[in-house]
Amino acid sequence: MSGIPSAVAGVTQVEQTHDHLAPVYAQFPLHVTGASGVHLVTRDGRRVLDLYGGHAVAALGYGHPRWLAALADQAHVLAFQSNAVPLEVRARAAARLVRFAALPLETVFFCNTGAEANENALKLALRITRRGKVVAVEGSFHGRTAAAGAVTWGAASRWYGFPRAPFDVEFLPRGDTAAISRTVGEDVAAVIVEPVQGVAGAVDLGGEWLHALRARCTAAGALLVFDEVQCGMGRTGYPFAANLYGVAPDMITTAKALGAGFPSAALLMSGDVARELATDDLGTTFGGGPLACAMMETVIDIIEQEGLLANVRRLGALLRETCIVGPVTAVQGAGFLAGLRTRRPAKNIQSELLARGILTGTSADPNVVRILAPYVLEERHVVELRDALAGLAP
Ligand SMILES: Cc1ncc(COP(=O)(O)O)c(C=O)c1O
């Protein structure tokens, strides 16, 4: 099983050549030797249009000159120091992220992965509220660690592995407004939700429902955590889905596109949450290292200076307008977290697209092909996808 098992489910398993690697990942039948722009290059010299971006990480595609230069420059200046040493690049990255988010979340804890960010967000919520229950949403994916896995839909029966969850968990049905007041009571420490669910198949939970969730959390004294590990950092065409919907959570977790290929994650928190923190409450060795910070700062610069949010909005709209062709009956999600709803099994469409030189993902929904394109995509690439889809059997 992969980190995101459903992303490649159904694609022919390649012969395992790396005998010393843990045999836990389903893999695309691709031998990638390099990449440039929005294309992967394979061992046999094929160029594959990458609309999956390594599980939503490759927001700038591959080999962006400013990303490469920033990495090299920072490596020469200072490749690593821990959080025991104050660093200007770390302070700058935090300020840059807070400004980019433009939400009332002005304190940042840097870490390494989405799961780690969620783990810390839930720990804080449980501690601050002194409550013992977390509410999550059906279809959710929050990561593989003890707390993140406990709030991931279906994990307990498939891969969770720990003998018990570290707190009580209840799942909310998606889009059910009545269930919110029934489920989010004064025993709930936090509600954790992906505003646009990724692994579920680009399922947009919508502003109305998220506003109702915000209101109920406030009334019940529960903290609202937006897991924007996949849908954040510009993927919806807005800094965060919180901006798209005008809903301010108490915490946002983010990763993936944040470093655009350099492992980076962050937990953004409100003043009320930050005020509860004291020395030693959270910690990490690698999180907020100088390389990660230089890359986060650079990624935000590039997104802003190259107008990439507008590009995601424009091409996301084009995708929705033009790609309901061939086997596709609808397009769901937001921006470049898009789900092509297919009449035939998504895994077959994925294989057929790959045979035509286009890499896409699948999802937990057997009839959704997932698109997690780089923000630097161009109109001609959407046309290429549309033409390829139009050539497939309905
Ligand atoms: C919404 C969401 N949260 C958390 C995670 C876990 O992130 P990581 O694999 O970096 O731990 C993922 C990974 O796909 C995700 O999509």
Residue identifier of the C-alpha nearest atom 13 of ligand 1 = 143
With a cut of 80, say whether residue 3 has pLDDT above it: no
Residue identifier of the C-alpha nearest atom 16 of ligand 1 = 230
Neighbours of 301 (CB within 10 A): 15
Find the helix packing angle between 346-355 and 379-390, rounded to 10°.
Answer: 110
Question: Which pLDDT value is given to residue 6?
Answer: 52
With a cut of 90, say whether residue 298 has pLDDT above it: yes
Distance from residue 272's CA to the centre of ligand 1 (Å): 26
Average pLDDT over residues 349-371: 98
Q: Which of 122, 193, 256, 258 to mutate to test the pocket of ligand 1 (most atoms within 8 A of CB)?
A: 256
Question: What percent of the chain is predicted at pLDDT more than 90?
Answer: 95
The CA distance from 361 to 349, in Å, is: 10
Question: Which pLDDT value is given to residue 31?
Answer: 96
Amino acid at 92: R
| Cβ–Cβ under 8 Å, residues 235 and 242 | no
With a cut of 70, say whether residue 33 has pLDDT above it: yes
Atom of ligand 1 nearest to the CA of 228: 1
Please state the pTM of the whole predicted model.
0.96
Kind of pairing between the strands at 188-193 and 133-137? parallel
Q: Which of 1, 227, 229, 336 to mutate to test the pocket of ligand 1 (most atoms within 8 A of CB)?
A: 229
Ligand 1 site, residue 364, Cβ cutoff 6 A:
no
Find the helix packing angle between 65-77 and 290-305, rounded to 10°.
Answer: 150
Distance from residue 229's CA to the centre of ligand 1 (Å): 6
Ligand 1 site, residue 119, Cβ cutoff 6 A:
no
Question: Which pLDDT value is given to residue 287?
Answer: 98
Ligand 1 site, residue 266, Cβ cutoff 6 A:
no
Distance from residue 236's CA to the centre of ligand 1 (Å): 16
Q: Which of 25, 120, 141 to mutate to test the pocket of ligand 1 (most atoms within 8 A of CB)?
A: 141
Average pLDDT over residues 230-245: 98
With a cut of 70, say whether residue 307 has pLDDT above it: yes
Question: Which pLDDT value is given to residue 19?
Answer: 83
- Got the DSSP string for 212-278? HHHHHHHHHTPEEEEE-TTTTTTTTSSSSHHHHHT---SEEEE-GGGTTTS--EEEEE-HHHHTT--
218 Cβ contact list (under 8 Å, min separation 6): none
Ligand 1 site, residue 50, Cβ cutoff 6 A:
no
Check residues 189 and 11 and name the one with the higher pLDDT: 189
Check residues 14 and 220 and name the one with the higher pLDDT: 220
Question: Which pLDDT value is given to residue 1?
Answer: 32
Max distance between CA atoms of the chain, in angstroms, equals 60
Is residue 67 very low, low, confident or very high in pLDDT (cuts 50, 70, 90)? very high
156-195, pLDDT tens digit by residue?
999 999 999 999 999 999 999 999 999 999 999 999 999 9
With a cut of 70, say whether residue 2 has pLDDT above it: no
The CA distance from 71 to 65, in Å, is: 10
Alpha helices in the chain (DSSP H): 53-56, 65-77, 88-101, 114-129, 146-150, 155-158, 177-183, 207-220, 241-245, 271-274, 290-305, 308-322, 346-355, 379-390
Is residue 361 very low, low, confident or very high in pLDDT (cuts 50, 70, 90)? very high
Task: Tally the C-alpha atoms within 13 A of residue 183's C-alpha that lie toward its C-beta.
Answer: 23
Residue 225, phi then psi, degrees to nearest 5: -115, 120
With a cut of 50, say whether residue 351 has pLDDT above it: yes
> Tokens 């084009």 label which residue?
318
Average pLDDT, the chain: 96
Ligand 1 site, residue 341, Cβ cutoff 6 A:
no
Ligand 1 site, residue 227, Cβ cutoff 6 A:
yes
Distance from residue 48's CA to the centre of ligand 1 (Å): 25
Beta bridge partners of 137: 172
Ligand 1 site, residue 55, Cβ cutoff 6 A:
yes
With a cut of 70, say whether residue 7 has pLDDT above it: no
Ligand 1 site, residue 143, Cβ cutoff 6 A:
yes
> From start to end of 300-362, where are the E strands?
328-334, 337-342, 358-359
Ligand 1 site, residue 232, Cβ cutoff 6 A:
no
